[in-house]
Structure 1
Amino acid sequence: MEEEKFAFTPEELKETKILHDDLKDKLADSLMPGDEEHLTAFIEHTMEQGGVHRDVFGLNPILTSLQTARITVDEIGLRRDGVIATMLYGCLGDHLEAVEEIRKAFGDNVARIVHGLIRIQKLYEKNPVIESENFRNLLLSFAEDMRVILIMIADRVNIMRQIRDTPNKEAQHEVSEEASYLYAPLAHKLGLYTLKSELEDLSLKYLEHDAYYMIKEKLNATKQARDAYIDRFIGPVKARLEEAGLKFHIKGRTKSIHSIWQKMKKQQCGFEGIYDLFAIRIILDSPLEKEKQQCWQVYSIITDMYQPNPKRLRDWLSVPKSNGYESLHITVLGPENKWVEVQIRTERMDDIAEHGLAAHWRYKGIKSGGQMDEWLANIRSALEAGDGLQVMDQFRMDLTPDEIYAFTPKGDLFKFPAGATVLDFAYRIHSKIGNSCVGGRVNGKVVSMRQELHSGDSVEIITQSNQSPKRDWLNIVKTSKAKSKIRLALKETQAKEGLYAKELLERRFKNKKVEMEESVMGHLIKKMGFKETSDFYRQIADGKLDSNEVIDQYVAVRDHLQNAAKEHEIVSAENFAYESPNEELTHSDDDVLTIDQNLKGIDYQLAPCCHPIYGDRIFGFVTAGGGIKIHRTDCPNAAEMRRRFGYRIVKARWSGKGQSKYAITLRVIGNDDIGVVSNLTNIISKDEKIVMRSINIDSHDGLFSGNLVVQLEDTTRLQSLIKKLKAVKGVRDVSRI
């Protein structure tokens, strides 16, 4: 069956001529010789080739392009390049092969815009989940020229205007949802407030028909009364401000239907419950040095006339918002006891709020990356600078590719740092997918896990059940999330391998009828040059160490240790004595204590009953003589002091570390062998930061117990010392007294 040839209806022809003449008149100063002829030739050729078709709503694409072009001129300020690109794309669709012909006929700018529009159309074909902020940013990064986004917004506004009576309600619903969560926020970001409000209102009209018309009818019914009320409110205010000699102008604006509906839903009330249907803005023509003074002067005048609601005061004059927004918002009880919101600002503040620093859209809570914000703010300034032709024609996207966006086959969109790989993508989906990843398909092509991703890539991960993470994977991935998941998987793998190797070795020992002792094994592992036991067992698991050789070496180490033990006769530790020849060291004033709340420099003594040292939790006790003694909070006498003399206890804490050393006593219990005590003293003597004062030993029933007095700097060194002493063979317990 032959396809029906595209044709214009009489009404479409009439509107097309009107739009054509209007655009030609408005663009006369920017069109180049031959533009009109070339454009007509392109469109006629496409029609002859059967390349022009009505869309899902039955709309004429040539007429739609003209309507969109007029919006880009009237509402946005685009000129020749933007309009020609709009017309061409509307008729050509996504024929990339035509871009070179367009470049020859209309130049690089037009070709680049058309190419950007086609690229974004290709993005849509991946069925992305476009509700996400990620898709919005991807859209922006794909638009080589910002006019691509502006044309898309204008096109969506135009379609929303044309589909009011369409029978295709499903398509109408889909287009309206996209307008609401994608195009309206983009228009808002770019300062296109009129288009943003229209998109929101029309999407509400199609998505929630009853709510839209209910609010519209109520607004229409109350418009006359509302306008009269605004006049009644403004009249006396205007007179008082003029009396004060202020230069100003006043705006009164009604909220959009969409924002009223959002407020009704948020506050869970009816139309009548929304009292701030409009806001009044007083904009002062004020010199910079008098801005705050005059704003507060207006505030004073209005609050003298009308009762303010203090809970609704928003002072962004004293401390502007982080985005530069400055304004004073007050809500007052106007005539007839109605609440009225009044915004007070200067021309400069109004300019920043409306045009600069991207203040308004961030103020409403739309989030985006810092670099994208700056870029969009520059666009907005360029759009509203007045000389739109030169600025926009010279504009280039200035974003460093520090972020990329990639799709799953289902259309979910993930953000990654530049340089991220297929393996990063796999771990982003799930740890199990990452751990078993062997490669991927990027845009249908099989690639390795090392393949770098680019914005717009569609990625499918290929897995194998026998795959497991390798250490060199840490060099492949870019994201910290993937790195931490790989490290965790490697640890789990090592732990499993270590356990397997240990069980294997124990079985071999059993087969050879050799008893495996942990202490001897520890000596062997150190002798073989391993710092970590896990490394030793990993080499057993990998087969790099022969278990038979390990057993032979183990037997040699065991026999050596046993012979060494027999060589010296056990001598009682009671015969061991040590007293340091050095004088007793005391704490210096280097270590600072803060007594009570914030008092420093007060004389104090460290209590001899518990010997506090730097780092201990402490308190101060005011003695009968008025001095302060510092005790540990776990001092044996602490409970009694608190019970009987609670009023003499003051807070104390260490607040400065000096060079002091503190004497502490350790109680050591162990096997009654002078060799054990020698080992203890060797450990202490090797540490330059610890001074040993004395050791007193008692022995009984094969055990010795002794008090070991040392001097050291703080609790950290003390804990380290106790740990080392407890590790000595033959030591049963070490505790501080």
Structure 2
Amino acid sequence: MSDFQPEEIKLINDQFDDLLNYYKAVNPNGNIAIVQKAFQLAYQAHDGMRRRSGEPYIMHPIAVAEIVAKEIGLGATSISASLLHDVVEDTEYTIEEMEQMFNPKIASIVDGLTKIAGATTFKSDSIQAENFRKLLLTMSDDIRVILIKIADRLHNMRTLGSMPPHKQYKIAAETLFVYAPLSHRLGLYNIKSELEDLAFKYEHPATYADLASKISHSEEERDELFRQFTKPIEERLKILDFNFTIKKRIKSVYSIWKKMQQKDIPFEEVFDLMATRIVFEPKTYLDEKVQCWNIYSAITSIYRPKPDRIRDWISVPKANGYEALHMTVMGPKGRWFEVQIRSQRMDEIAEKGYAAHWKYKSGPDSNETELERWLKTIRELLETPESNAIEFMNDFKLNLFSQEIMVFTPKGEMKVLPQGATALDFAFEIHTELGLQCIGAKVNHNLVPLSHKLKSGDQVEIITSSKQKPQEEWLSFVTTARAKSKIKGIFKNERKKFIKAGEKRLEEKLNKLKLTTNSRILKKLEAYFDVETREELMYNIGRENIEIDNLQDILREKTQSKIVKYWRLQFGNKKNKQTPEKKQDSQPISKRKSIQLTDDKSDIDYTVATCCNPIPGDDVIGYVDENDNVVLHKRQCEKAIKLMSNYGNQIVDATWISHKLHSFLSIIKINGIDKQGMLSQISKVISEDQDVNMREVHFGSHDGVFEGIIHLYVHNVEDVNNLIFKIVKIKGITNVQRVEQSQLSQK
């Protein structure tokens, strides 16, 4: 007897029937029985369980299985594992029972999808990163683990509205940091775009709503332009006897916002909102590539192409298997149009990624693709994994580059590397020994150092020496995970020796002071020498990078400050004793779900992160460190996204309350026509503003235009916006915007 209501049981059965009917239609000879058996077990195991939204929990695994079947195109084993993916984690069933009831493959996939149980240490480890590493370990044997996990994440993002804000930020950041780029790398473009949009929607709801509204309002104009643009193309392709479809693709909200940020432009200046996609049924007697170029030729006989915007991914597919011919042409009303040309096979690979790529693989003798080479690299990375899960995640992220370059060996063999890769990365890409013995390289016949960054089309010859030994400084400039993991592997044993030497040296120094090593002393030393972990401290002591001859002074100085702090806490506030605060106020910050930021810092003492300099009015999150101190970041800050994706339990939702006492640093950038008196006019506007003070001014002009960077102290976002509104009114000013220090550093 089920614990669900009759209408809920009907809904569950209808949803599963829809999934089963779809699978039967696309796989008439598929293993229907095992899918039905998996559903029955999942239904029984999750009976009575509900999601936070209140719906029966079994609806979630069914939805994940639907994504796996319909949007990724996987088969019975994956659908069954999707239906069972939470059974072991949330119920009494074990992996061994899964193996007995189903088969070792399904059990192995379910095991890979089951989170690690138990807690983790506060700072050096991250349970989120550990869980992801476990996923990858299983993925190295079976790619279906990560594909199902992506489907699981997509459904969780689609239903994220029922979660509290601090959970939404953590999950959204983790999605942007790992799952969206991973989906892209596996060729799941539609899923990648939806994950990015959903994450953006929860991190910046107001901005998302504004952009979505603007896209919607311009839809009628876009449809008319699309009709005008495609009509002559359709006529020409019909004359050439092509069987084809033409679709329009609208740029995602997140990618529009990202372009606005990167190019410093408003929405109205994003001209490539829409792309035209031509998908054709290839003629059997002619090569697909030739037919793509025939369509290209037909279009360029109607519209003039932009030469620097031709992308030939049919001759050299992307590393994730993507094939297409892209071009940009000048269309009606002086608008640029991007056109994507694909065969039906190319389109299916683009839509369903790895699963479709494998379907079209011609057999065991076919050439190894870039996607398979990437998976091989991941397996190599897992062979010598970082002991620290966060470091491992950082190395793995290096393999998720979407921008790639094509580089050639002296014999003309092509290698695909991430943009920014160096000559040393190239050496490790060829062979580990070649990388370890590399002393230099010739790029296009010119001698270059190991750190030389390669460009697409470079021909590279590696120079080696048997006397060469790996250098630690190599880690500062290599960019590929393969190179980093191989270099780190060499230094692991050596590092252990230095750590032991450091422990011995510190112990000897402490013995002379009649002290023993304990966590209190180690924390003082870590803080004094500004190192993150005990391992790093011991390593630097062992290498004599850190001098501890004055150990007694270091410990005394820290101890005194602690005593003073203790004295003030115990005796300094007796006269001003306050009435007891609310219970929540006495709670450690790390246990709270949200905090309010006021002018009075007596309740919550927070600091502003220098990487993004948030000010009152910005969307912010708080990261709570091990001392219960709060560091504020903008939600879109890259460092904040990384913290939320790795340390979700230490993130609190932060809300600004009115601020008029404290001032915060903000930076604005001004562009305009260089003319006499311009700086004076800008300075006058700022000096007359009662809520703003200038700290630094940097102006430079070139060929009749200028750029100015002004550092200001303001109370909140409203002050900045008001000032920008006043400055932009000055004749000759073309653009004024708020920027971050990190954006200036990149330039």
**Normalised by the shorter chain, which TM-score bucket?**
0.3 to 0.5
Q: TM-score, normalised by structure 2?
A: 0.46
